């Protein structure tokens, strides 16, 4: 099973995000900020399939979800979708990183440190 991201359940987001990670010094908490420029979910034709209720990261282990999703508008038109996933434990961090490894492999992404 490949890893994928959805905003409306059943519809995969095809635009690859820019992802920024932060982690506490002790490694127990962290955040992942996703930015999808011109996300396909902003296409008006997809609006008929449902509403954006969150961001769902789906892989063979299950679903990781966040409700912190915002759409940025420029001149009244949607330009980007931003989402924040908060990891509240070292288990959440490990689970997220396993998802990201699968997502990267599925989409040909690489990780670069700041």
Annotated domain spans of the chain = 4-106
In the numeric block, the tokens 């990670």 are attached to 21
Neighbours of 11 (CB within 10 A): 15
Superfamily classification of domain 4-106: Photosystem II Psb28 (2.40.30.220)
Yes or no: say if 91 and 98 are a contact pair by the CB < 8 Å rule.
no
Confirm whether pTM is higher than 0.95: no
Q: Point out the least confidently predicted range of 20-29, 60-69, 79-88.
A: 20-29
The per-residue pLDDT for range 8-62, each reduced to its tens digit, is 888 899 999 999 999 999 888 999 999 999 888 888 766 667 788 899 999 999 9
The H-assigned helical ranges of the chain are: 90-107
Question: How high is the pLDDT of residue 101?
Answer: 93
């Amino acid at each position: 099973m490949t890893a994928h991201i959805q905003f409306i359940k059943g519809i995969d987001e095809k635009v690859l995000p820019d992802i920024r990670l932060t982690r506490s010094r002790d490694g127990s908490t962290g955040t992942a900020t996703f930015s999808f420029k011109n996300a396909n979910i902003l296409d008006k034709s997809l609006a008929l399939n449902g509403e954006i209720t969150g961001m769902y990261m789906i892989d063979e282990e299950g679903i990781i979800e966040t409700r912190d999703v915002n759409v940025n508008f420029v001149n009244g038109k949607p330009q980007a979708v931003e989402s924040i996933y908060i990891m509240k434990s070292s288990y959440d961090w490990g689970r997220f990183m396993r998802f990201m490894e699968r997502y990267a492999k599925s989409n040909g992404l690489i990780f670069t440190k700041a």
